[in-house]
Amino acid sequence: MLYLLEKNGMLTSLPNDSDEVEVQVGSLKTNINLNKLMKIKSNIDNKTNIPKNKNAVINKSRTISPEINVIGLNVEEALQVIDKYLDDAKLSKLETIRIVHGKGTGKLRTGIHNFLKNRKDIKAFRIGTYGEGEMGVTVVTLKK
């Protein structure tokens, strides 16, 4: 594990001629000089790729919200955030979640719906009803 921008990341390449390596922090990949990185002790078992501290997964399920707000993000940014959120929601065994995208032009809603159509872990999704946020919210039911 490496420490980058006050975040833990994974080294994904060997150093090039300029002593730069590719580092992945969440869904972000970037090239950075080796002298800008700090090696830290990993919390992941390299053989199983599972956190050594199983409480980390348990704590996630206690703190995850059944709603995510992506208002103000462009479609690409929102899909990255939603992809990670859906994985966390599934780990937390949430059955229904809400994606707040706003009404706006509808471009963000359309992009999110197209993304959800292709996910195998989605049972169904629909526009919110009166009192749920209507056209500004998508309600998603996850498969168990």
Read off the pLDDT of each residue in 37-60 and give the average, rounded to a whole number. 54
DSSP states of 11-80 as a string? E-S---TTSEEEEEETTEEEEEEGGG-EE---SEETTTTEES-THHHHHHHHH--SEEE-TT--HHHHHH
* Assigned token pair, 138: 């998508």
* Predicted confidence (pLDDT) at residue 111 exceeds the cutoff of 90: yes
Read off the pLDDT of each residue in 77-99 and give the average, rounded to a whole number. 91
State residue 14's pLDDT score. 78
State residue 6's pLDDT score. 55
State residue 68's pLDDT score. 92
Q: What confidence tens digit (pLDDT) does each residue in 2-27 have? A: 444 556 677 777 788 888 887 776 66
Most confident of 11-20, 37-46, 105-114: 105-114
* Assigned token pair, 61: 């399920």
User: What are the chain's domains?
Assistant: 2-42 (no CATH), 53-142 (3.30.1370.110)
Q: In one letter, which amino acid is 13?
A: S
The residues pairing with 124 across neighbouring beta strands, listed in sequence order, are 141
State residue 135's pLDDT score. 92
Scanning the structure block, which residue is given the tokens 């002790």? 41
Residue of higher predicted confidence among 77 and 64 = 77
Please give the Cα distance from 62 to 64 (Å, whole number).
6
